[in-house]
Amino acid sequence: MKSPGFLFSLTLFSILLFWRYSSGQKQEQILNLQEVVDLAQGQSIAASQAKTTRQTRYWEWRTFQADLRPQLLLQGNLPDFQRSYSEVIQPDGTVDFQPIKINNSGLSLNLQQRIAATGGTVFANTLIQRFDDFDRERTIYNGRPFSIGIEQPLFGFNQLRWDKKIEPLRYQESQQQYLLDCELIAVDATELYFDVLLAQVNLEMARVNLANNDTLYAIAQERAALGRLSQNDLLQLQLGVLNARKDEATARQDLAGAQQRLQAFTGISLDKNTGLTLPLDIPAVPVDEATALEQARLNRPEVTGFRRRQLEADQTMARARGETGIEATLQANFGLSNRASNLADIYTRPQDQQIVSLQFAIPILDWGRASSRRETAKANRELVNATVEQDRINFEQEIQTQVTLYNMLREQLALVREADQIAQERYQIAKDRFVLGDLSITDLNLAIQEKDRAKRDYVTALRLFWDAHYTLRTLTLYDFEKHQKIF
């Protein structure tokens, strides 16, 4: 007959949960919650996706920065040979097609810089061109040794000016979003971690209950043989053994499924020798609501997104105004140019070159198209501002609610832990009384149920707390234990 002291091992659950094997078997691997979270954030598929997205946003930002810097471009068509028939108007006005065999090659070096404040472009370039007429054996050169100029839109929409306001916010938002994605991975990993942990608790309890029922059933058989236990009570204990075996098989299957889900998400290799510990290291200090709100406003991508969305609405309004009124473009160019029969003479006494042009378009009759676009943009801006304000209110309310939940769950943990300890002690007393014949089977079963429920409630309370803990980190991107921003 098994000793009742076999059941005492259950009290170790609140400190460490793992499988127990004989000394000849493989040593088990013990993981805690923080280790699983770190592994998930470092090697999971979700982490890889977050890193790829961040890298993409980084190179988009680099592309924008490069567009603000001077651009140097070498252009040319070398060679540009043609041998064909070309349309030629004759002196009498008729058209004839004459054979031609020519080469018209050119090479230019251009330096340009965009001006964000005005939306214009300043440029400098140099050009050399060679024309060969092979039928007449004639070669001539044309060139601009140096030329500078400006192209400036007037009254229109300045895209670059708005990009300089919006793109830094977009980049900042992407970096904050990466941190948020990492914290969301922590939340998902925590959920899966506690799925496995609760399955381990259920399996261990099922094994202990099975051993318990075997021991009690053996004791009951001896008491029934002495006529001190009814056949009905004996059958009830036998049924308890069968139910315990069924619960043990179900718990083993649930654990295997939970381990597979955790392994698929985190990439951790889990087997029967892998155990997870109960995360009992609860932060000692409650979270201050004002601090949480302040850090959320500083760190969350949504807050940066609020400013970006409002600027984009203002940009749409500016575009509607700039593209529906007078449009004009001023072009001015000054340089040196020359033509010669040999290349060196191009740079000998070149002549001045000046080009000034003003192109414009003035809408006279558009049947209200321009005003409709402006009013649509205005209405859209008002809608965006109202939506952003509502999103801001919801955002702050969510943080306030989460802080309240976090502090409440933190306080309740002590109560649930004490209830678990009481339920375990009460069960031990009930078991000893039953062995002595001083307790009914009904009362013993109630003690067993309360013991199991208290253990599950404690693990569930831990799960709710740590879920609230990592959720609060996602809402603020702030580490309240270390008192620093999450990097």
**What is the C-alpha R_g of the chain?**
40
Q: What is the pTM of this model?
A: 0.81
Q: Are residues 173 and 151 in the same domain?
A: no
Q: What is the pLDDT of residue 89?
A: 87
Q: How far apart are CA 377 and CA 185, in angstroms?
A: 38
In this structure, how many other beta carbons lie within 10 angstroms of the beta carbon of residue 113? Answer: 13
Amino acid in the structure at residue 331: Q
Task: Give a yes or no: residue 322 inside a domain.
Answer: no
Do 282 and 401 share a structural domain?
A: yes
Domain match, 431 and 352 both: no
Residues 176 and 254 in one domain: yes
User: Per the domain annotation, does 316 fall within a domain?
Assistant: no
Give every CB contact of residue 239 below 8 A, 6+ residues apart in sequence: none
| Spans in the chain with pLDDT lower than 70 | 1-28, 271-272
- Residue 372 belongs to a domain: no
Structure-token pair, residue 84: 């064909």
CA dist 380 and 229 (Å) reads 82
Tokens of 428: 């031990």
Q: Where residue 285 sits, what CATH number does that domain have?
A: 1.20.1600.10
pLDDT given at position 272: 66
d(CA 433, CA 127): 106
What integer pLDDT is reported at residue 15 of this predicted model? Answer: 31
**Domain assignment of residue 344, given as a range:** 80-115+120-157+328-362
User: Number of folded domains in the chain?
Assistant: 2
Instruction: Indicate whether 333 belongs to any domain.
Output: yes
Q: Do 47 and 106 fall within a single domain?
A: no
Cβ atoms of residues 153 and 130 within 8 Å: no
On whether both 204 and 58 belong to a single domain, the answer is: yes
List the Cα angle 288/291/294 in 5-degree steps. 150
Q: CA 469 to CA 287: how far, in whole Å? A: 10
Same domain for 127 and 41? no
Q: Is residue 304 domain-shared with residue 193, that is, in the same domain? A: yes
Q: For residues 378 and 317, what is the distance between their CA atoms, to the nearest angstrom? A: 6
Give the 3-state DSSP-derived string for 420-474, with helices as H, strands as E and coil as C: HHHHHHHHHHHHHHHHCCCCCHHHHHHHHHHHHHHHHHHHHHHHHHHHHHHHHHH
- pLDDT for the residue 385: 95
Residue found under tokens 């938002």: 173
Q: And the tokens for 251?
A: 């718990």
Looking at the fold, whether 168 and 144 belong to one and the same domain comes out as no
Residue 56 forms part of a structural domain: yes
Beta pairing class for 29-31 and 274-276: parallel
Residue 268 and residue 189 share a domain: yes
Q: How far apart are CA 118 and CA 155, in angstroms?
A: 10
Q: Is residue 72 part of a domain?
A: no
Owner of token pair 């001023």: 330
- Cβ burial of 106 (10 Å; 0-12, 13-18, 19+) is middle
Does 323 reside within a domain?
no
The verdict on 295 and 349 lying in the same domain is no
356 & 398 share domain: no
Residue 429 lies in a domain: yes
Task: Enumerate the H helices of 332-368 as residue ranges.
Answer: none
